[in-house]
Amino acid sequence: MRITNKMMTGNSMANINNNKEYMDKLNNQMATQKKLTRPSDDPIVAIRALRLRSSLSEVTQYYGANVPDAQAWVSVTESAIESTKEMISGMKALCDQGANGTNTVSERENIYQSLEAYKKQIYANGNATHAGRSVFTGYRTGEALTFQEETTADYRGIWDSFNASDVARNSYIEGSLSMTDINNLNVTDNDETTVKEDRVNRIRLSYDNINTKLKNTPYGINGDQVGLISGWGTSKDWSMYVEGGRLTPAGEGFTATIEVNKTPTIIKFDSRCNKALTWSPDPVGTPPVTEMGLDIVTGKVYATRESDKTTLVYRNALEKPASIDQDTIKNDPIDGLLSFEIEYDGRTYNVTKDPATGRFVGKDTSNSSKEIMVTQNNDKSFTISVGNQDKYRSSTNFNVFNVSANGRTVTSYYAEHNLEVTITTSDAAVTTDGKTAYQYLALGADNKNADADAKNKIYLLADTGELVFGSDVESTLSGLKDIPGVDTISVKYDKSSFEAGDLRPEHYFDCRQIDDSHIAVPIYSMNYDDHRQAINYEVGTNQTIQINTNAEDVFDTQITRVIDDILTAITGYNNAEEKVNRLTQMQEDASSYTPAQMENIGKLLDAANKELDIAKNKLQKTYETSITEYGNFFNQANLAQTTCGTVENRLTLISNRLASEKTTTTTLASDNENIDITEVAVEVSQAELVYNAALMATGKIAQHTLVDYI
The Cα–Cα gap between 615 and 569 comes to 7
665 CB contacts (<8 Å, ≥6 apart)?
A: 52, 55, 56, 59
314 and 159 Cβ atoms separated by less than 8 Å: no
For residues 301-315, average pLDDT? 88
Res. 51 pLDDT band, cuts 50 70 90: confident
Better-scored residue on pLDDT, 251 or 684: 684
> What does the pLDDT read at residue 367?
80
Better-scored residue on pLDDT, 293 or 682: 293
The answer to whether residue 498 scores a pLDDT higher than 60 is yes
The answer to whether residue 550 scores a pLDDT higher than 70 is yes
> What does the pLDDT read at residue 234?
63
> What does the pLDDT read at residue 236?
52
For residues 469-491, average pLDDT? 92
The answer to whether residue 130 scores a pLDDT higher than 90 is yes
Q: What is the mean pLDDT of the chain?
A: 84
pTM over 0.85: no
634 and 96 Cβ atoms separated by less than 8 Å: no
Q: What is the pLDDT of residues 147-193, one digit of tens each?
A: 999 999 989 889 999 999 999 999 988 888 888 888 888 887 777 77
276 and 296 Cβ atoms separated by less than 8 Å: no
* DSSP tag of 65: I
The answer to whether residue 526 scores a pLDDT higher than 70 is no
Strand, helix or coil for residue 342:
strand
Res. 390 pLDDT band, cuts 50 70 90: very low
Res. 312 pLDDT band, cuts 50 70 90: very high
Better-scored residue on pLDDT, 668 or 172: 172
The answer to whether residue 468 scores a pLDDT higher than 80 is yes
The answer to whether residue 568 scores a pLDDT higher than 50 is yes
For residues 51-61, average pLDDT? 81
Angle 145-633-464 (CA atoms, 0-180°, nearest 5)?
Answer: 70
> What does the pLDDT read at residue 253?
66
* Percent of all residues in the chain with a pLDDT value above 90, rounded to a whole number: 49
> What does the pLDDT read at residue 528?
63
Residue 366 C-alpha from the chain's centroid: 39
Q: Count other C-beta atoms under 10 Å from residue 357's C-beta.
A: 8
146 and 504 Cβ atoms separated by less than 8 Å: yes
Res. 431 pLDDT band, cuts 50 70 90: very high
Q: What is the DSSP annotation of 415-469? A: EEEEEEEEEE-TTSB-STT--BHHHHT-B-TTS-BSSTGGGG-EEEETTTTEEEE
In 62-220 the beta strands, taken as DSSP E runs, fall at 129-130, 133-134, 151-162, 168-174, 196-204, 214-216
Better-scored residue on pLDDT, 122 or 232: 122
Strand, helix or coil for residue 26:
helix
> Hey, what's the torsion of the CAs at 677, 681, 684, 688, to 10 degrees?
170
Residue 259 C-alpha from the chain's centroid: 41
Better-scored residue on pLDDT, 243 or 379: 379
The Cα–Cα gap between 124 and 120 comes to 8
> What does the pLDDT read at residue 8?
66
> What does the pLDDT read at residue 295?
74
Better-scored residue on pLDDT, 436 or 368: 436
Low-confidence winner among 395-409, 422-436, 514-528 (lowest mean pLDDT): 514-528
The answer to whether residue 240 scores a pLDDT higher than 60 is no
Res. 22 pLDDT band, cuts 50 70 90: low
| Residue of 200, 37, 159, 268 lying closest to 505 (CA atoms) | 159
Better-scored residue on pLDDT, 244 or 673: 673
> What does the pLDDT read at residue 521?
37
> What does the pLDDT read at residue 518?
44
- H or E stretch at 536: strand 536-540
Better-scored residue on pLDDT, 187 or 578: 578
For residues 40-49, average pLDDT? 70
> What does the pLDDT read at residue 59?
85
For residues 201-223, average pLDDT? 79
> What does the pLDDT read at residue 299?
78
* DSSP tag of 353: E
> What does the pLDDT read at residue 701?
65
> What does the pLDDT read at residue 32?
66
